[in-house]
Structure 1
Amino acid sequence: MKRVLCASLAAGSVLLAGCAGDPYSGGGYGNTMKGAGIGALGGAGIGALATKNHGTGAAIGAAAGALLGAGVGYYMDRQEQQLRQQLEGSQVEVRREGDNLKVVMPSQITFAFDSADILPGFYPSLNSVAQVLREHDQTTVEVTGHTDNIGTNHYNQQLSERRAQAVADYLAGQGVIGGRIAAHCMGETSPVASNDTESGRAQNRRVEIVIRPAAQPQAAPAYQQQPGYYPPATPAPEYTPPGYYPQRPVPGAYQAPAYPYPNY
Structure 2
Amino acid sequence: MSIKHSSAIASCIVAAVFVSGCQTTNPYSNESQNAKATNGALIGALAGAAIGVASSSKSDRGKGALIGAASGAALGGGIGYYMDVQEAELRKQLQSSGVSVTRSGDTIILNMPNDVTFGVDQTDLSQRAKQVLNSVALVALEYDETKLNVMGHTDSSGAASYNMRLSQVRASEVASYLMSRKVPSARVVSHGVGEDRPVASNETKAGRAENRRVEIILSPLS
Same fold (TM over 0.5): yes
1:141–1:214 Cα change, 3 Å: same
- Which of 178, 181, 204 is residue 211 of structure 2 equivalent to? 204
**Which residue of the partner structure matches residue 113 of structure 2?**
106
Describe the superposition over 1:30-79 as per-residue Cα deviations: whole angstroms up to 9, x where unpaired: 27549959xxxxxxxxxxxxxxxxxxxxxxxxxxxxx9994111111111
**Which residue of the partner structure matches residue 169 of structure 1?**
176
Q: Is the 8 A contact 1:32 1:77 kept in 2?
A: no
TM-score, with structure 1 as normaliser: 0.57
Q: Is the 8 A contact 2:137 2:178 kept in 1?
A: yes
**Which residue of the partner structure matches residue 156 of structure 1?**
163
SS in structure 2 of the partner of residue 196 of structure 1: coil
Is 1:120 aligned to residue 121 of structure 2? no
1:190–1:199 Cα change, 3 Å: same
Task: After the TM superposition, list the runs of 4 or more consecutive aligned residues in structure 1 that deviate by more than 6 angstroms.
Answer: none
Deviation for aligned residue 1:28: 2.4
Rounded to whole Å, the distance in 2 between the matches of 1:34 and 1:105 is 36
Rounded to whole Å, the distance in 1 between the matches of 2:35 and 2:161 is 43
Rounded to whole Å, the distance in 2 between the matches of 1:121 and 1:32 is 36
SS in structure 2 of the partner of residue 184 of structure 1: strand
1:31–1:93 Cα change, 3 Å: farther
Q: Is the 8 A contact 1:80 1:101 kept in 2?
A: yes
Q: Is the 8 A contact 1:148 1:201 kept in 2?
A: yes
**Which residue of the partner structure matches residue 30 of structure 1?**
31
* Unpaired segments ≥5 residues, structure 1: 1-25, 38-66, 216-264
**Which residue of the partner structure matches residue 24 of structure 2?**
none
Deviation for aligned residue 1:111: 0.3
**Which residue of the partner structure matches residue 97 of structure 1?**
104
Q: Kindly, what percent of the aligned residue pairs are identical? A: 45
**Which residue of the partner structure matches residue 187 of structure 1?**
194
Matches within 5 A, 1:70-89: 70-89=77-96
SS in structure 1 of the partner of residue 112 of structure 2: strand
1:139–1:68 Cα change, 3 Å: closer
Compare relative contact order (CA 8 Å, sep 6+) and give the higher one, 1 or 2: 1
**Which residue of the partner structure matches residue 149 of structure 2?**
142
Q: Is the 8 A contact 1:145 1:207 kept in 2?
A: yes
Q: Is the 8 A contact 2:201 2:208 kept in 1?
A: yes
Deviation for aligned residue 1:106: 0.4
Rounded to whole Å, the distance in 2 between the matches of 1:34 and 1:120 is 44
Q: Is the 8 A contact 1:32 1:70 kept in 2?
A: no
SS in structure 2 of the partner of residue 187 of structure 1: coil
Rounded to whole Å, the distance in 2 between the matches of 1:183 and 1:119 is 18
Aligned residue pairs total 161
Describe the superposition over 1:77-109 as per-residue Cα deviations: whole angstroms up to 9, x where unpaired: 111011000000011000000011000000111
Q: Which has the higher helix share?
A: 2
Describe the superposition over 1:154-183 as per-residue Cα deviations: whole angstroms up to 9, x where unpaired: 000000000000000000000100011110
Rounded to whole Å, the distance in 1 between the matches of 2:175 and 2:113 is 16
